[in-house]
Amino acid sequence: MDKASFKPSEARQLFREEKYVGNTAGWCRGYTQAGLVILPKEDAFDFLLFCTRNPKPCPVLDVTEIGSPEPKVIAPHADIRYDLPSYSVYKDGEPAEEPKNIEQYWNDDMVGFLLGCSFSFEDALLKANIPMRHIDAGTNTGVYNTNIPCNSAGKFSGNMVVSMRPIPGNLVSRAVTITSRLPNVHGAPVYIGDPADIGIKDIYKPEWGDPPIMGPGDVPMFWACSVTPQVVALDSKPKLMIAHLSANMFITDIVTESLSIL
Amino acid sequence: MDKASFKPSEARQLFREEKYVGNTAGWCRGYTQAGLVILPKEDAFDFLLFCTRNPKPCPVLDVTEIGSPEPKVIAPHADIRYDLPSYSVYKDGEPAEEPKNIEQYWNDDMVGFLLGCSFSFEDALLKANIPMRHIDAGTNTGVYNTNIPCNSAGKFSGNMVVSMRPIPGNLVSRAVTITSRLPNVHGAPVYIGDPADIGIKDIYKPEWGDPPIMGPGDVPMFWACSVTPQVVALDSKPKLMIAHLSANMFITDIVTESLSIL
């Protein structure tokens, strides 16, 4: 069976049973994927406030109740302790382990934040015949630190992290309007133009992901990236923080098109 | 000087000095107005989560840091203890006082939530030549309880409260697209059609505000209303809750058009 045609609940079951471990790009076409950040409840208000104040990098799809692993709004009966392929566990802000479930780390003090992922808007762009160079090449987008400050909240502050997609000049407007319709998965680009203006010295040396493939006449378009909240949260050196392993996302029951605001 | 042409900082100064006490409808044209809910920090996470899960009735424009009265994002240097014309103070869920400032109630344990107000989108509708019957008549919109459940969060749950504006049939689409662009001030209507379907028995008997004036061919359009979070918060009988007095809003430094997402 093709990964693109699995229902989200079927995919989550496979991940839960550890029958598939790996990235979720291209899984469950049309359904919204989400990044995960789990923090202790003492940090939950400040972190939710940070997300509220920075909706472009941190579009909140769901937040679990304190101590509950169920993302009730986006996937009733799912369990964020088991339903992602792999996790990253950080202790005192440093990487500690990359387990396939987080049963041993979970406790009644924890809150899970599920944040919209750009895999979801790429599907909308592809449907509009906008080429995704990295998908054609079988690589990941380049992901970069910038000098764009986020709005701080309590202990959380830092600059925005962005992903870059090269788009043909005649399709830049279309890529803006299509992603504008989907603010829950990062919305419209935060910057279009010279990477140097937002503090990116060499577009071919991303901090995360792969170097981009720029076609002739391609314009660099920068979208706010969910790596932002992870970087910002880790920077505060929380005792324990759990996140999705890069590109190993939580697949929600939400049809992305249903999130469209226009 | 005309109230519509005051700068927000000038208006706030007048309210702070108690030189004007009354509703803020029509003040500072083009600037976004906000409702206020202040709760103790023990309720802050659940309430912010309630707002996050119910963005239509509870569009969060800003949340103050615990103990700080400054809404840094939408009006740096303003002070929510003084800068609204009048407040409603509730104790154990019951109305207690309607003071002109809340100095005596404020303490380091409090968090202020500033939520987008429909005064802001009415301006956008008027600019598009969509008539606002209640403004022509010098009355307030009708505001109604419905049977539409909100997504609950922690201790907070309840049904949505809506405001209704009668719109000529040929302008209904336009009113949808214009308000869709402004999700931070309630966005598109939550319901258009027969009031009975959302549990409203008599459109001429609103729970709050004034009975509507329906022109011939007008269609009832229902927008989510910021009364919702107040009702829901009071329902949980918090020890102390402070809100804006009805229609006595906080005027932000935000130009509403700058919030437009398209």
Return the structure tokens found at A246.
């890069």
Report residue A12: phi and psi, to 5°.
-60, -40
Q: Are strands A218-224 and A208-209 parallel, antiparallel or unpaired?
A: unpaired
Phi-psi sector, A181: left (phi>0), alpha (psi -120 to 50), beta: alpha
A151 touches chain B (CB under 8 A): yes
Instruction: Report pLDDT digits (tens) over A75-115.
Output: 999 999 999 999 999 999 999 999 999 999 999 999 999 99
Minimum CA–CA partner of A49 in chain B = B63
pLDDT in the model for residue B261: 77
Ranges of residues in chain B with a pLDDT under 70 are 1
Instruction: Report pLDDT digits (tens) over A151-190.
Output: 999 999 999 999 999 999 989 999 999 999 899 999 999 9
Sorting pLDDT into bands at 50, 70 and 90, what band is A148?
A: very high
Sorting pLDDT into bands at 50, 70 and 90, what band is A262?
A: confident
- Beta-carbon separation of B53 and A73 below 8 A: yes
Contacts of B65 (CB under 8 A, 6+ apart): A153, A154, B72, B111
Q: How far apart are the first and last CA of chain B?
A: 33
- Answer whether residue A245 shows pLDDT above 90: yes
Cross-chain CB nearest to B63 (options A44, A52, A72): A52
Q: What is the DSSP string of B195-257?
A: GGGGT-S-TTS-SEE----PPTTEEEEEEE-THHHHHHHHHT--SEEEEE-TT-PEEEEEEGG
pLDDT in the model for residue A131: 94
- The structure tokens 């991303």 sit at A206
Distance between CA atoms of residues A111 and A242, nearest Å? 10
Cross-chain CB nearest to B262 (options A53, A73, A262): A262
How far A138 CA sits from the closest chain B CA (Å)?
32
- CB interface of B with A, residues 69-98, below 8 Å: 72-73
How far A24 CA sits from the closest chain B CA (Å)?
25
pLDDT in the model for residue B126: 92
The per-residue pLDDT of chain A, averaged, comes to: 94
When pLDDT is averaged across residues A106-125 and rounded to a whole number, the result is 93
B52 touches chain A (CB under 8 A): yes
- Answer whether residue A128 shows pLDDT above 80: yes
Which stretches within B128-166 are classed as H helix? 133-137
pLDDT in the model for residue B245: 93
pLDDT in the model for residue B199: 97
Sorting pLDDT into bands at 50, 70 and 90, what band is A197?
A: very high
pLDDT in the model for residue A261: 77
How far B116 CA sits from the closest chain A CA (Å)?
13
pLDDT in the model for residue A119: 85
A53 touches chain B (CB under 8 A): yes
pLDDT in the model for residue B246: 87
